[in-house]
Amino acid sequence: MEKELLRGLVSEEEKERFAQNGFLLMKGLLTKAEVDEIKDYFMMLHAKGPFPGFKPVSMEEAGGDLLRVYPRMINPHRADPNIIPFMIHPKIMGVLADLLDEEPLASQSMFYFKPPGAKGQALHQDNYYLKVSPGTCMAAWVSIDEADRENGGMVMVPESSQLDIICPHEADPETSFTNDEVDVPEGMSVVPVDMAAGDILFFNGSVIHGSYPNSSKDRFRRSFICHYAGYSAMKVMEDTLYTHRGEVVIREVDESAGPCGVEFDYVTNKAYY
């Protein structure tokens, strides 16, 4: 029997909140067992050592820099297809189908370790990088650990979801591990979103968002983050996408410099003007 999308996970009230704010926190969407499965798998990958796009070093080699010991994983599913089932988890794809009102396609995967002392991420908009069109991308931000203002939790700008892409300026390298930052438009404000393990934050590609630095002494803030496009999207940053059944769908890669005339390398976080 053909695998069907798990629809009906999002209430009408939640859809209205998403339509207004551009983001929706689904509390406890994943069980502890489901979160532990993702966490244990990525910790195993870290323990095994380098693979394409991921090169952790020992504490001695890193000179005490935990960000080099626990670097971010960017698109690990390209090197390890066992990650694809996490990307197309039935609950995640079901919520996305409810919010997009069409079949979602999984595009990009990331795992952030964010150890104590790690920098935050300056405010930005995802579709500046993902280049999904028509429409915009969607993110599913899975909290593997409790994430709050002390250990580097998320911040969002409500009602920024209808904005066009704002061209960024250079971020403060003392507080952000990425180079780009956008300003909060007049009349809007930043709000924190505290999360428990198993909560998932869904947001569209225009929403301005970022995260705090991890100022805790001993609390990691691990997260599994994936990006998606609606099935109707014709152009994307990644050409290979996946349906909820794991089938491969190919879309045209947007090779333009984007609305700000910038080429961006998602692995190095460097922009090329």
User: What DSSP assignment string belongs to 20-85?
Assistant: HHSEEEETT-S-HHHHHHHHHHHHHHHHH--BTTB----HHHHTT-HHHHSPPEESGGGT-GGGHH
Q: How confident is the model at residue 77 (pLDDT cuts 50, 70, 90)?
A: very high
Q: Is 130 helix (H, G, I), strand (E, B) or coil?
A: helix
Q: Which residues contact 25 (CB under 8 A, 6 or more apart)?
A: 193, 195, 199, 200, 201, 202
Residue 265 scores a pLDDT above 80? no
pLDDT tens for each residue of 19-63: 999 999 999 999 999 999 999 999 999 999 898 889 999 888 988
Q: How confident is the model at residue 1 (pLDDT cuts 50, 70, 90)?
A: very low
pLDDT tens for each residue of 161-198: 989 999 999 999 889 988 999 999 999 999 999 999 99
Residue 206 scores a pLDDT above 60? yes
Alpha carbons 141 and 23: distance in angstroms, whole number: 11
Q: How confident is the model at residue 256 (pLDDT cuts 50, 70, 90)?
A: confident
Alpha carbons 10 and 32: distance in angstroms, whole number: 20
pLDDT value of residue 259: 77
pLDDT value of residue 199: 98
Output the CA angle 270-147-246, nearest 5 degrees. Answer: 65
Alpha carbons 145 and 167: distance in angstroms, whole number: 32
Per cent of the chain over pLDDT 70 is 95
pLDDT tens for each residue of 110-134: 999 999 999 999 999 999 999 999 9
Cβ atoms 227, 233 nearer than 8 A: no
pLDDT value of residue 258: 74
Q: How confident is the model at residue 268 (pLDDT cuts 50, 70, 90)?
A: low
User: Of how many residues is the chain composed?
Assistant: 273
Among residues 214, 100, 107, which one has the least CA distance to residue 154?
214
Residue 66 scores a pLDDT above 70? yes
Residue 212 scores a pLDDT above 50? yes
**Chain-wide mean pLDDT for the chain?**
92
Q: How confident is the model at residue 272 (pLDDT cuts 50, 70, 90)?
A: very low
Cβ atoms 111, 178 nearer than 8 A: no
CA 212 to each of CA 69, 136, 233: distance values in angstroms, whole numbers, following the listed order: 20, 25, 32
